[in-house]
Amino acid sequence: MWIITLNCGLLFWSNFLHLNNYFCCCHYCNLVDKTYMVSHDQATLFCDYIWHLFTNRIVKKLSFVFLLFASAACSQSVESVKLAELQKIIHNSTDKLLVINFWATWCAPCIKELPHFEKLQQENKNVDVILVSMDYDLDPNIDKVNRFQSKKKIQSRILFLTESNPNAWIEKIDKKWSGALPATLVINSKTGKREFVQGELGEGEIEKLLSKVTN
């Protein structure tokens, strides 16, 4: 995993071997503090570019370019995953509470409840929000989800599940799930408690689910 930190043109990075994911964190002048997932290729390209700039000692001159490039590299963060990878994330033990929202770009109630998840991701450091797009079933092209992500400036991690024949796997995600969208799964991996809700969540309802799995 790569973690890249940008701070007003000063830059540090470190290489942690953890899973096969590449993270890119951008801190611009303490104004923006966000963590982005980028693809392997994008991260490698980005890091190579930064390394090139660094070794050429033109970092200061080109700090502006950094920021532009960082935004460009970070805006493409939708990851394609198969069911096995999603299940690994669901069953992974972590200190944080996992909030997994199943949604799609065509689903109006999903889009309506999205700001609650974004707010939660930004305000609660003990929570990891993962938005799992179910768009593949009707449209296998990831572009629509990428465009949606950049247009709406979504900060939470987005996964694009590339599995057909939903009847074969819906129950593997949760037995209670009929497949209707939206649906939300909240997991406390430390206690093994989980809550699953089908339907749109209103203000404060995610917090209620979180307290159910923590208490």
Using CB under 8 A as the criterion, which residues of the chain lie in contact with another protein when the complex forms?
A: 104, 106-109, 134, 137-140, 164-167, 170-171, 177-183, 198-200
Q: Which is nearer to another protein, 128 or 135 (CB)?
A: 135
Q: Which is nearer to another protein, 115 or 140 (CB)?
A: 140
Distance of closest approach, residue 140 Cβ to another protein, in angstroms:
8
Measure the CA–CA gap between 29 and 49, rounded to whole angstroms.
21
| Contact between 24 and 36 (Cβ < 8 Å) | yes
Distance of closest approach, residue 97 Cβ to another protein, in angstroms:
24
58: Cα separation from own chain's centroid = 32
Measure the CA–CA gap between 186 and 188, rounded to whole angstroms.
7
Distance of closest approach, residue 208 Cβ to another protein, in angstroms:
15
Measure the CA–CA gap between 27 and 36, rounded to whole angstroms.
11
Distance of closest approach, residue 201 Cβ to another protein, in angstroms:
12
Measure the CA–CA gap between 151 and 84, rounded to whole angstroms.
29
Q: Which is nearer to another protein, 115 or 199 (CB)?
A: 199
Distance of closest approach, residue 177 Cβ to another protein, in angstroms:
7
Distance of closest approach, residue 184 Cβ to another protein, in angstroms:
12
Q: For strand 193-198 and strand 183-188, is the pairing parallel, antiparallel, or unpaired?
A: antiparallel
Q: Which is nearer to another protein, 51 or 106 (CB)?
A: 106
Measure the CA–CA gap between 117 and 183, rounded to whole angstroms.
12
Q: Which is nearer to another protein, 92 or 141 (CB)?
A: 141
Q: Which is nearer to another protein, 26 or 161 (CB)?
A: 161
Measure the CA–CA gap between 135 and 173, rounded to whole angstroms.
16
Query: Of the candidates 134, 131, 126, which has an alpha carbon nearest to the alpha carbon of residue 180?
Result: 134
Query: Of the candidates 23, 26, 34, 33, which has an alpha carbon nearest to the alpha carbon of residue 9?
Result: 26
- 102: helix, coil or strand? strand
